[in-house]
Structure 1
Amino acid sequence: MTDGERAIAMADIAALKARYCRTLDTKDWDGHRAVFAPDLVADFRASAGGDDPAMMTHGAAAYVAKLAAALVDVITVHHCHTPEVRIESSAAATGIWAMEDKLWVGANSALPFAWMHGYGHYHEHYVRIDGTWRIAATRLSRLRVDIGERQRNG
C-alpha cells in the first residue's frame, strides 16, 4: 500500500468507529449491524468486572439483537478517541481506541443499576468487505466503572 492508501484507510476506519458510536447511541440497529462483518466476534466478557461467558457473542446479527434488547429504556453516550490504528494490508487492520461510556437506565430497563460511567479501551480487528471497512472483532477492556444503584422501595 502507498502512504496515501494507508491514510485513506485510517480515515475510513475512524469514520467507521464514529458510525459505531452514533448508531449505538441513536439505537439505529440496522445501521449498527452494518458497521460489523457478518461473522463478528464481540468479546465483552471482562467489561463488567468478571468473566461472564454470556458476554461473548458470535455473529453481527446475534450481537446487535442482544444489544438492542439490553438497551431498552436506556440512554447511552459513547465516546471513542485517541486511536492507535495499524493497517496490516489493503483488507486488514487492527486498532485500539480509548473509550468512555455513560448509561442512564430508565424504570422499565432490566439492567440492575440506575446509571453507569465507564472508561477503557476497545481492541479491534477490521476487515475490508466489498471495498468497505467493517469491525470483524471487538473486545472491551475496562479501567474503571462507576455505577449508581437503583433505589429500592420498602
Structure 2
Amino acid sequence: MDIEAIKQLKARYFRLLDRKDWAGWTEVWEQEIEHEMPADGTSFRGAREDFVAFVARALTGIVTVHHGQTPEIKLTSPTSATGIWAFVDRLKAGPDAQPGISEFTGFGHYHESYVKSDAGWRIKTQRVTRLRMDIGPAESS
C-alpha cells in the first residue's frame, strides 16, 4: 500500500506541475526539501514554498508536459522510502514566455527520497539527472 501511495504522490506531482497548480504542488513536498539538477546547475535547500515560487517563476509562460514511468521504489523504514523514476519532459514557450525561450525535450531520471507523516507520503529530496536534451530554436512571432 505504501508503494502505491508513493506512485500516486508522483502522479499528482506531474499533474499539478503541468497544470501550474502551485498550491497543490506545494503539498507533494516535505516542509524542508533538497533539490538538485546538475545539468543546469540548479541546487536548492530550504522551505518548499520558496522552491515552488522559484519553479513557478521559471515556468511562467512555458507549457510543460511531464511523463514518469518505471518506478523503482524501496521502502527503507515504515516512514521513509527511496525511488528512481524514468521520465520525459517537454517544454514549449507560450505567448507569455520570455524572449529566447526554446522548445525543449528532456530524458532522464528522478532520484528521490520520501517521508511519511500524518499528512501521508511527501518528497523530501530530489535529484534530476539527464540522459539527453533536445533543444529547438525559439519560434518567432
Range class of TM-score, shorter chain:
over 0.9
Verify the 8 A CA contact 1:113 1:148 in the aligned structure 2. Answer: no
Show structure 1 runs of 5+ residues with no match. 1-7
- 1:88 has 2:76 as partner: yes
The residue number in structure 2 matching 1:47 is 39
Per-residue displacement from partner, 1:83-131 (whole Å, max 9, x unpaired)?
0000011100000000000001124323743210000000000001215
The residue number in structure 2 matching 1:105 is 93
Select 1:9's aligned residue among 2, 5, 12: 2
Corresponding pairs, count: 140
Q: Evaluate the alpha carbon distance shift between residue 65 and residue 131 of structure 1 in structure 2; reply closer, same or farther with a 3 A threshold.
A: closer
Verify the 8 A CA contact 1:106 1:114 in the aligned structure 2. Answer: no
- 1:26 has 2:19 as partner: yes
- So what's the TM-score if we normalise by structure 1? 0.85
Identity %: 39
- 1:150 has 2:138 as partner: yes
Q: Based on CA coordinates, which of the two structures has the bigger radius of gyration?
A: 1
Please tell me the root mean square deviation across aligned C-alpha atoms, in Å: 1.6
The residue number in structure 2 matching 1:5 is none
Q: Evaluate the alpha carbon distance shift between residue 147 and residue 137 of structure 1 in structure 2; reply closer, same or farther with a 3 A threshold.
A: same
Show structure 2 runs of 5+ residues with no match. none
